[in-house]
Chains A and B, each alone.
Chain A
Amino acid sequence: MWSRVVEIMLGCWLVISPFIFAHPDTELTWWISDMLCGTAVILFGLLSYWRPARRAHLATIGVAIWLIAYAYLRSSEATGAAIQNAAIQNNMALGLLLMMFAIIPNDASKPPEPWRVPTGDTTRSGSSPQEPDDLPQSGTDRQLAASHH
């Protein structure tokens, strides 16, 4: 879950970014975007620890795309020195970082859950202590059953 921890820390950074980079009061959309995105990233990271929402971290990819898109949107209207605006760079860097971390699965060092049980263990979908988790798909059990004869 190291990836979720980093995401939550990056989310905190985003929430406090308006203060760090001293967004002017007139730039209300920057304030809202940074704080809202940060809050969403923290929320998705925490939700990923809750089993029914274990893939919530994938929603962070959407936030990252928004951060990058918004950075380009704002940079296209800026000219000259304004293009080096700290808020734009912050959004771009955070968008790239979050995109990389967000695709890392929970418990990334272990195999995906369907692969954690030995070959031919037909109990894995029914009575195994952990139900199949990573990328469950309907065909698997049927195909495994079919391979038994």
Chain B
Amino acid sequence: MTVSAPISSDSTADSHAATDLDAIPEPFDYNPSSWSQRIPICVIAMVGFLIATYMGLFQWKLIDSAWDPVFGGQTEAVLTSDVSHWMHKWFLIPDATFGAIAYLGDAIFGLAGSTRRWQYRPWLVVIFGIDVIPLGIVSAVLVAMQGLVVGSWCFLCLVTAVISLVLVVMAYDEVWACLKYLKRVWDETHDRKLLWDVFWGRRTAEGEAIGARFATPATT
């Protein structure tokens, strides 16, 4: 079945699936790029940023002690362990600071873009997804390993690991819709140039038509 791009320039055009900013992409019954979906991610990422920054300040020796209500002095043992010193060498900055920047990135990339960015800025959603999902899982695994390898546990590290995993769950839907849209474009056209243009959010007739069929107008 071929469906041509809907041509309409009347006042109802804005509510149409082709350009409706609140349109709902497959396979969801809500818009994962909406502010109500993205703002909570940014808020939680900023909590992670603050906690990681606090630990980074300790590793920078700008504060003398690190708070830990459960494991007592073990947090400071983790934050000054050999592992953390190796990571400091690789990243050139303390590992907690590196994590803080990654959480800040989650918030920045979560905030940027319109509520239809799954179609209008796939590159941004993909960068957001890379920052949140693979980086989040790797950092959570590293925190768990740090506990096992160093032999000490760090309460705030565990909190940030949980935050990372929560963010993965909260962010996956938008990334999924975006990748599914890109795959749909590829499946229907097998046109590399078009996929490239669509990835960078350029407006093409084919991409627009596929996007219009991919989304349903908001029900409000």
Query: B202 contacts which of A83, A89, A111, A135 (Cβ < 8 Å)?
Result: A135
User: How many B residues face the partner with a CB closer than 8 A?
Assistant: 44
Q: Which residues on A sit within 8 Å (CB–CB) of B14?
A: 118
A110 to B, closest residue via Cβ: B114
Report A51 CB to chain B, min CB distance, Å. 19
What bracket does the count of chain A residues touching chain B fall in?
35 or more
Please, what's the 1-or-0 string for B52-92, where 1 marks a CB less than 8 Å from any CB in chain A?
00000000000000000000000000000000000011011
Report A105 CB to chain B, min CB distance, Å. 7
Query: A-B pairs with CB below 8 Å: how many?
Result: 108
Q: Which residues on A sit within 8 Å (CB–CB) of B114?
A: 109-111
Measured CA separation A148–B124 after assembly (Å): 30
Report B88 CB to chain A, min CB distance, Å. 7
B116 to A, closest residue via Cβ: A111
Say whether A88 contacts B92, CB under 8 Å. Answer: yes
Measured CA separation A54–B3 after assembly (Å): 36
Say whether A119 contacts B19, CB under 8 Å. Answer: yes
Instruction: Identify which of A3, A111, A139 gathers the most chain B CB atoms within 10 Å of its CB.
Output: A111
Say whether A93 contacts B101, CB under 8 Å. Answer: yes
Say whether A120 contacts B5, CB under 8 Å. Answer: yes
Please, what's the 1-or-0 string for B6-36, where 1 marks a CB less than 8 Å from any CB in chain A?
1111000110101101000000000000000
Check A32 for interface membership: any CB of B closer than 8 A: no
Check A140 for interface membership: any CB of B closer than 8 A: yes
Say whether A97 contacts B19, CB under 8 Å. Answer: no
* Given the contacts A92-B93, A140-B204, A118 and B108 also touching, CB distance less than 8 Å: no
* Given the contacts A118-B13, A119-B8, A135-B202, A112 and B104 also touching, CB distance less than 8 Å: no
* Given the contacts A112-B120, A119-B208, A134 and B108 also touching, CB distance less than 8 Å: no
Measured CA separation A118–B21 after assembly (Å): 11
Q: Which residues on A sit within 8 Å (CB–CB) of B109?
A: 100
A135 to B, closest residue via Cβ: B202
A84 to B, closest residue via Cβ: B88
Check A48 for interface membership: any CB of B closer than 8 A: no
Q: Which residues on A sit within 8 Å (CB–CB) of B111?
A: 108
Check A21 for interface membership: any CB of B closer than 8 A: no
Check A147 for interface membership: any CB of B closer than 8 A: yes
Report B128 CB to chain A, min CB distance, Å. 11
Contacting A at CB under 8 A, from B164-220, are 197, 200-206, 208-209, 212
Check A26 for interface membership: any CB of B closer than 8 A: no
Measured CA separation A110–B112 after assembly (Å): 9
Say whether B104 contacts A97, CB under 8 Å. Answer: yes
Q: Which residues on B sit within 8 Å (CB–CB) of A144?
A: 5, 203-205
Check A143 for interface membership: any CB of B closer than 8 A: yes
| The 9 A-B residue pairs with the shortest CB-CB distance in the complex, in nearest-first order | A118-B13, A120-B7, A147-B205, A114-B203, A108-B112, A92-B92, A119-B18, A143-B205, A111-B114
Between-chain CB contacts (< 8 Å), 27 pairs: A72-B92, A83-B89, A83-B92, A93-B101, A97-B104, A100-B101, A100-B109, A108-B111, A108-B112, A109-B113, A114-B203, A115-B19, A115-B201, A115-B203, A118-B9, A119-B5, A119-B16, A119-B208, A120-B6, A134-B201, A135-B201, A137-B202, A140-B202, A140-B203, A143-B204, A147-B5, A147-B209
8 new A-B pairs (CB below 8 Å) besides A108-B111, A115-B19, A135-B200? Answer: A103-B127, A112-B203, A118-B18, A120-B7, A135-B202, A137-B202, A147-B209, A148-B7
